[in-house]
Chain A
Amino acid sequence: MKILTEHIDVPGIETIDVFCKHGGYQAVEKAIKKMTPDEVTEEVKKSGLRGRGGAGFPVGMKWSFLAKPEGIPRYLVCNADESEPGTFKDHYLMWKSPHTLIEGMIVSSFALGANTSYIYVRGELMYVIHILEKAIQEAYDKGYLGKNILGSGYDLDLYVQPGGGAYICGEETALLESLEGKRGNPRIKPPFPAVKGVWQCPTVVNNVESIAATSWIINHGGEAYAAVGVGRSTGTKLISASGHIRKPGVYEIPLGITVEDFIYSDEWCGGIREGHKLKAVVAGGSSVPILSAEMILNTVDGEKRLMTYESLSDGGFATGTMLGSGGFIVMDETTCIVHNTLTFARFYHHESCGQCSPCREGTGWMDKVIYRIEHGKGRKEDIDLLVDVAKKIEGNTICPLGDAAAWPVAAAIRHFRDEFEWHIEHPELAIQPGAVYMRPGASWAQ
């Protein structure tokens, strides 16, 4: 079941002619000619589509919160600032099939009554920005953008805005600050962007994948979309698969397949690389809790874990994790969890905007303390110190970056404490290149 990527490998799909030959822009024709904005929103609500950037908030509901005061412009801003380690699906989709996003932008802007919309793309993807701008020009030339689209009287201008290299701008209010030409410091909420967003006007911010899915929903109906998936996890999800697997890449999966299938089936990751065993997985991007092989494959009740929002979080943080943005990082037995956690801690330290003390100071502490453990200088009390610092960041910041920084450290200690202890107790062994602790009796250690 492919909704976003069915034609992604068709040669020339990045051009509007080939894209249209494969059903492209039919959703624009249908929405603008035959539907009202409210009817489009209604279909998206029925689809159960949840925000694909990580938070999983229902898209239709987010749209319905948009304030619509007379005489004040409304904006749709696409969040293409994809920067969560392990996540590269939006990059892939925009690079291969830019019109999939642009068509969704037109449908979604129409539903929201936005006459100017922006796609905020992380600056490092400048080549993707060129691809999008070329495709946008094609859409203008065909009359899908600009004044009086398809003779309907509806006007829409669409622009691409580059970021400048700041993970924090993936947080929607930081993104809006950045779009206004400022530093990417998240705003205090409320007011929410739906009421006061960019330039203090009502604004909806949605992820690339969420917006791209709306075209299919309009073409086939919200119910058809909701028929794919399991329970409240409807539709398909792009999963970015990386790490020690045979076939890294981006896969569109129907939500609800088992984690085991996703890792081992030839249709998806193709199993762990030759001669190695699964040790751990970070299932939803660097900020979600890491789980050991046993925990990611099965829930604590012994059920096979599914690739859904609900199943991945089954057991809470004690034994579960999150689907997040779908950044699926697979680690085999050669992986040093302490080193991997260090790269994540260093990342959040680097990316903290510095506005809130718990995050600004705490991310630095975690980075430094894990660094000394990794480099054979760890102290006995360091592990509890890390747990303590993580606790003091979590929930005490303006935006979720604090939580995102605390969770991977807390989870690595929760599930791999023995590995941290081994580093502290045996620094002379731990600092050897390639040294990895093997937990006695663990499935990956045999």
Chain B
Amino acid sequence: MEAKNTIVFPAETLDLVQKIMKRYPEGKHKSAILPILHLAQAEWKWCSPEVMDYVASLLTIAPVEVYEVASFYTMFHLEPVGEHVIEYCRTGPCCLMGGVEVYDHLKKRLGIQTGETTADGKFTIKEVECLAACGWGPVFQIREKFYMQLTAEKVDQIIDELSK
């Protein structure tokens, strides 16, 4: 029972949640699902059933209303992930700029395949579709940050930096 109680936003985030719910007309606060899911994922790294239940309780809606939304949108991790989730763009323009080779290097460097997490729990690799940065490809994203015009050397530097 105790473990469940740990899923509560810090006071500051709870204030923000209240503010977000007021962005919509009276009674339409279900619209806050996506912004709150983003806050939840930032807090707990992934959207576990317990986290989604908590979001539902904040919005006073049925848990299934959160599950069906979280499972539709690809940004939400429904399985545990590593500390740094590397999401690389696999779509056409990034591939034209050598994306496939760069991402192969990334996988080799970390010793994992797409969808896997390193044994130390530090890195997860995911592939995503177009990130709207096609002129600066190949591109990957770690949380909010974009890493652009990637090369094998740049990938090594980024991994070195994040491994410290």
User: Which of A3-11, A298-306, A338-346 is near enough to bind chain B?
Assistant: A338-346
- Smallest CB–CB gap between A58 and chain B, Å? 25
B73 touches A163 (CB 8 A): yes
CB-contact partner of A73 in B25, B134, B145, under 8 A: B25
- Complex CA distance for A127 and B146, rounded to whole angstroms: 9
**Nearest A residue to B90 by beta-carbon distance?**
A343
Asked if B44 CB lies within 8 Å of chain A CBs, one says no
> Interface code B88-108, partner A: CB below 8 Å = 1, 0 otherwise?
001111011100000000000
Residue of B25, B33, B135 with highest tally of chain A CB at under 10 A = B135
Residue of B72, B97, B143 with highest tally of chain A CB at under 10 A = B72
* A-chain residues with CB within 8 Å of residue B130 when the two chains form the complex: 83-86, 167, 286, 347
B133 touches A91 (CB 8 A): yes
Asked if A141 CB lies within 8 Å of chain B CBs, one says no
Asked if A243 CB lies within 8 Å of chain B CBs, one says yes
A124 touches B141 (CB 8 A): yes
- Complex CA distance for A159 and B131, rounded to whole angstroms: 22
B28 touches A242 (CB 8 A): no
A180 touches B75 (CB 8 A): no
- Smallest CB–CB gap between A249 and chain B, Å? 5
> Interface code B108-137, partner A: CB below 8 Å = 1, 0 otherwise?
000000000000000000001111111111
Asked if B158 CB lies within 8 Å of chain A CBs, one says no
B75 touches A123 (CB 8 A): yes
**Nearest A residue to B145 by beta-carbon distance?**
A127
* B-chain residues with CB within 8 Å of residue A90 when the two chains form the complex: 132
Asked if B68 CB lies within 8 Å of chain A CBs, one says yes
- Complex CA distance for A439 and B96, rounded to whole angstroms: 19
A183 touches B69 (CB 8 A): yes
- Complex CA distance for A118 and B25, rounded to whole angstroms: 12
A161-B31 CB under 8 A given contacts A85-B129, A86-B92, A250-B135: yes
- Complex CA distance for A282 and B135, rounded to whole angstroms: 14
Asked if A407 CB lies within 8 Å of chain B CBs, one says no
Asked if B76 CB lies within 8 Å of chain A CBs, one says yes
- Smallest CB–CB gap between A238 and chain B, Å? 12
A241-B34 CB under 8 A given contacts A127-B144, A347-B129: no
A85 touches B92 (CB 8 A): yes
- Smallest CB–CB gap between A423 and chain B, Å? 17
Asked if B84 CB lies within 8 Å of chain A CBs, one says no
A182-B69 CB under 8 A given contacts A124-B132, A240-B135, A346-B90: yes
> Interface code A332-355, partner B: CB below 8 Å = 1, 0 otherwise?
000100011001101100110100
- Smallest CB–CB gap between A324 and chain B, Å? 14
CB-contact partner of A164 in B32, B37, B134, B144, under 8 A: B37
- Smallest CB–CB gap between A182 and chain B, Å? 7
Task: Name the interface residues of A149-207: CB closer than 8 Å to any CB of B.
Answer: 157, 159, 161-167, 178-184, 199
Residue of A83, A88, A116, A164 with highest tally of chain B CB at under 10 A = A164
A344 touches B92 (CB 8 A): yes
A242-B134 CB under 8 A given contacts A165-B75, A329-B93, A331-B96: yes
Asked if A87 CB lies within 8 Å of chain B CBs, one says yes
A241 touches B96 (CB 8 A): no
B28 touches A180 (CB 8 A): yes
Asked if A99 CB lies within 8 Å of chain B CBs, one says no
Asked if A248 CB lies within 8 Å of chain B CBs, one says yes
**Nearest B residue to A329 by beta-carbon distance?**
B93
Residue of B25, B129, B141, B145 with highest tally of chain A CB at under 10 A = B129
B74 touches A243 (CB 8 A): no
Task: Name the interface residues of A419-442: CB closer than 8 Å to any CB of B.
Answer: none
- Complex CA distance for A126 and B25, rounded to whole angstroms: 24
**Nearest A residue to B70 by beta-carbon distance?**
A164
Asked if A82 CB lies within 8 Å of chain B CBs, one says yes
Asked if A98 CB lies within 8 Å of chain B CBs, one says no
Asked if B23 CB lies within 8 Å of chain A CBs, one says yes
Asked if A244 CB lies within 8 Å of chain B CBs, one says yes
> Interface code B40-73, partner A: CB below 8 Å = 1, 0 otherwise?
0000000000000000000000000100111011
Asked if A358 CB lies within 8 Å of chain B CBs, one says no
A343 touches B92 (CB 8 A): yes
* A-chain residues with CB within 8 Å of residue B73 when the two chains form the complex: 123, 163-166, 184
**Nearest A residue to B42 by beta-carbon distance?**
A126
> Interface code A264-291, partner B: CB below 8 Å = 1, 0 otherwise?
0000000000000000001000100000
A163 touches B134 (CB 8 A): no
Residue of A182, A249, A250 with highest tally of chain B CB at under 10 A = A182
- Complex CA distance for A82 and B38, rounded to whole angstroms: 19
A242 touches B135 (CB 8 A): yes
- Complex CA distance for A286 and B93, rounded to whole angstroms: 9
B34 touches A162 (CB 8 A): yes
**Nearest A residue to B134 by beta-carbon distance?**
A242
* A-chain residues with CB within 8 Å of residue B92 when the two chains form the complex: 85-86, 282, 286, 329, 340, 343-344, 347
* B-chain residues with CB within 8 Å of residue A85 when the two chains form the complex: 91-93, 129-130, 134
Q: 16 additional contacts, CB 8 Å, given A118-B23, A343-B95?
A: A85-B130, A86-B93, A90-B132, A123-B75, A126-B38, A130-B144, A161-B35, A163-B73, A164-B70, A179-B31, A182-B69, A183-B69, A243-B97, A244-B96, A248-B135, A353-B72
Q: Which residues on A are within 8 Å of B, measured CB to CB? A: 73, 82-88, 90-91, 116, 118, 122-127, 130, 157, 159, 161-167, 178-184, 199, 240-244, 248-250, 282, 286, 327, 329, 331, 335, 339-340, 343-344, 346-347, 350-351, 353
Can you sample 7 A-B contacts with CB below 8 Å? A85-B93, A90-B132, A124-B141, A166-B74, A181-B34, A242-B134, A331-B96
A-B pairs, 3 with minimum CB distance? A164-B73, A165-B75, A248-B135
